[in-house]
Amino acid sequence: MASKFLSILTKWFALSTNSKEDIPHLKRSIIATNHEISRLYQLPTELIMEIDVHLMEPERPGPHVAQMAFRATCRRFYEILPRGLTKNVKWTEWDRRAYRLLLRQANFRALCGKEREGLLSDKRLVCCICRSAHARDVFTEAAVKKEPELRACIGASGVVELCPHFRITYAGMKLRPNNIVCSRYHHAIGGYEGLVRVNQVGELRASEFMCEVEIPVLEIRGNKKENKQGEGPLGRTKVINAVKETNWKLCPHMHTDSVEEWLPRKSFENRQKRWQVHCCAVKDCDTRFTFMRKEVTRVPREGEKIVKEFVVLRIERYFGSLRGADDKRWMSQIVWASSLLEDRWTWRKEE
């Protein structure tokens, strides 16, 4: 039994060895060409090592990125050059980041070359900000005529107006970690001020970007001891008038000035803590809003605790995972900066 097993094992080793020898190296033709043409490849190992030493740039954040790129030039350099700072210490995090940036730049140049050579589809164009190819319909007519290194898609050129003081672009939204709060003044009632915050929800690899807004609309109760009997039901007219006073843009398609158009016809009951969630009717716009009751407790330096209750308009705007600026949910939320009211400027002739 042992001799039979040994014979099978011997045949298996023979077959595996022969199969490896029969398979040619994928880069064999390139190696042969380097031997004949490349003067750098023909240099002795001592000179290659000396060139590698002089490639270090101590003044830049990734001082060894040129050495990493030089080592990745060909198989010979990969084998003879060091694989890190020392045998036990690999490249630093700054070096790896700079090298990844170098690879992205090289891939972008190659992508631009493919577009010039006509290797890309006629329906796709390259965006210089996203560093990728998008469908032709996400570019303006003026951008289509530009070179790929200067062309930007609509999603990367527009901005999202989160509040009157805060706008953000696609590149700004991609910064990590993404947890931004606007610290400027917003609509306030009875000492309770609105909130505007941008963060990420979900798991890190499958997270989505969202903006949550809370705007106080009505103060329905002051001190509990002074208001034991409570108030009557919140009528639709009362809520609509209070919402108009906030002067707030929920998304590019809804504004509190036109609250009668997008607010569903449903009475507001005083006992409810949260009303039904509604969505924007425009396709691909993932804006959700609802009204809720929120208690705010304040303890002054002198005196008893004060509990106030407000009706708050809560808005959640979801922008998607933003893997590209052509994300439909992101595209539905952006506006051109020149279309914003404070960016408009009209020249008038002096009289």
87: left (phi over 0), alpha (psi -120 to 50) or beta: alpha
41 φ, ψ to 5°?
Answer: -65, -30
What is the residue type of 61? P
What local confidence, expressed as pLDDT, does residue 292 receive? 87
Domain contains 141: yes
Look up residue 153 and give its two tokens. Answer: 């898609």
Q: By residue range, what is the domain housing residue 289?
A: 158-337
Q: Are residues 103 and 171 in the same domain?
A: no
Report cis status (omega within 30 of 0) of the bond before 177: yes
Residue 215's pLDDT is what? Answer: 93
Extended beta strands in the chain, E state: 124-127, 132-135, 160-163, 166-168, 180-181, 188-189, 192-193, 195-201, 208-221, 249-251, 254-255, 278-279, 286-298, 306-320
pLDDT in tens, 174-184: 776 678 888 88
Same domain, 210 and 145: no
71, 186: one domain: no
Q: Are residues 112 and 183 in the same domain?
A: no
Exposed e or buried b per residue across 255-285, where buried means at least 16 C-beta atoms within 10 angstroms of its C-beta:
ebeebeebbeeeebeeeeeebeebebeeeeb
Q: pLDDT above 90 covers what percent of the chain?
A: 26
As a whole number, the mean pLDDT across the chain is 81
**Looking at the DSSP assignment, which residues form a beta bridge with residue 335?**
159
Q: Are residues 223 and 265 in the same domain?
A: yes
What pLDDT is stored for residue 333 in this prediction?
93
- 13 in a structural domain: no
Cβ-based neighbours of 43, under 8 Å, separated by 6 or more: 51
CA 66/CA 48 separation, integer angstroms: 14
- Would you say residue 344 lies in a domain? no
280 and 168 in one domain? Answer: yes
40-54, pLDDT tens digit by residue? Answer: 888 999 999 999 989
Residues 115, 127, single domain; the answer is: no
Give a yes or no: residue 12 inside a domain. Answer: no
Q: Can you tell me which residue has the tokens 């590019």?
A: 252
Residue 7 lies in a domain: no
Nearest to 182 by CA among 158, 198, 200: 198
pLDDT at 33: 81
Supply the pLDDT for residue 62.
Answer: 84
Residues 142 and 209: their CA atoms lie apart, in Å, by 29
Residue 151 lies in a domain: yes
Q: Assess whether 214 and 332 both reside in one domain.
A: yes
In this prediction, the residues of the chain whose per-residue pLDDT falls under 50 are 17-21, 223-232, 345-351
Structure tokens at 100: 């990844």
What pLDDT score was predicted for residue 344? 52
Q: 267 and 322 share a domain?
A: yes
Beta bridge pairs of residue 288: 279, 316
Judge if 150 and 186 occupy the same domain.
no
Does residue 328 fall inside a structural domain? Answer: yes
Q: Give the number of C-alpha atoms closer than 13 A to the C-alpha of residue 316, restricted to the C-beta side.
A: 13
Q: Give yes or no: residues 129 and 175 share one domain.
A: no
Q: Do 208 and 288 sit in the same domain of this protein?
A: yes
Count of domains observed in the chain: 3
Tell me what pLDDT residue 148 has: 92
Quick check: is 18 in a domain?
no
